[in-house]
């Protein structure tokens, strides 16, 4: 497999997912910082977790570095797409486990979960994690053809 054959695909995918993760990360960090400063901002899908936002941003940057590698025709662009997607997928798995765990707390009737609803856990981490399956699968297919 030559990078020239897959350059376009890798660049597009890395760019799209880089944007998705980076923008989500920046919004999440902004909400998190605002909440620390005493300004409550509520946005659907965002939890206001600055640490989590940084994690999304880190994954977004990794995708973008993949774009850079792809543009300079380096086969390692696939590595960046693959690794960023695997970490994104990991974040999605944690978000899913959190949903299950919170649902359990709610069903058992514990005080801390009284106000919980399934929508509070249908957040950006879960959605991006699920979406990351797409670039992960594509990177795996590319790997198997090299």
Q: Which of residues 40-69 bind another protein (CB under 8 A)?
A: 51-52, 54-56, 58-59, 61-62, 65, 69
Closer to another protein at the Cβ: 15 or 105? 105
Q: Is 30 in the site for another protein (CB under 8 A)?
A: no
Nearest CA to 118 out of 97, 102, 129, 94 is that of 102
Nearest CA to 10 out of 132, 144, 139, 134 is that of 139
Closer to another protein at the Cβ: 105 or 122? 105
Q: Is 108 in the site for another protein (CB under 8 A)?
A: yes
In angstroms, how far is CA 42 from the centroid of its own chain? 20
CB 94 within 8 A of CB 125: yes
CB 52 within 8 A of CB 28: yes
Q: By CB under 8 A, name the binding residues for another protein.
A: 1-4, 35-38, 51-52, 54-56, 58-59, 61-62, 65, 69, 72-76, 78-80, 82-84, 86-87, 90-91, 94, 97-98, 101-102, 104-105, 108, 110-113, 139, 142-143, 146
């Amino acid at each position: 497999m030559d990078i020239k054959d897959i350059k376009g695909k890798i660049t597009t995918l890395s760019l799209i997912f880089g944007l998705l993760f980076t923008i989500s990360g920046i919004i999440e960090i902004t909400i998190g910082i605002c909440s620390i400063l005493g300004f409550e901002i509520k946005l659907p899908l965002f939890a206001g977790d600055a640490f989590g936002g940084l994690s999304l941003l880190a994954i977004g940057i990794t995708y973008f570095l993949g774009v850079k590698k792809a543009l300079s025709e380096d086969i390692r662009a696939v590595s960046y797409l693959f690794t960023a997607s695997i970490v994104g997928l990991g974040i999605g798995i944690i978000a899913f486990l959190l949903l299950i765990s919170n649902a359990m707390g709610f069903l058992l009737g514990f005080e801390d979960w009284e106000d919980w609803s399934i929508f509070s856990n249908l957040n950006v981490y879960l959605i991006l994690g699920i979406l990351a399956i797409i670039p992960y699968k594509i990177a795996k297919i590319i790997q198997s053809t090299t």
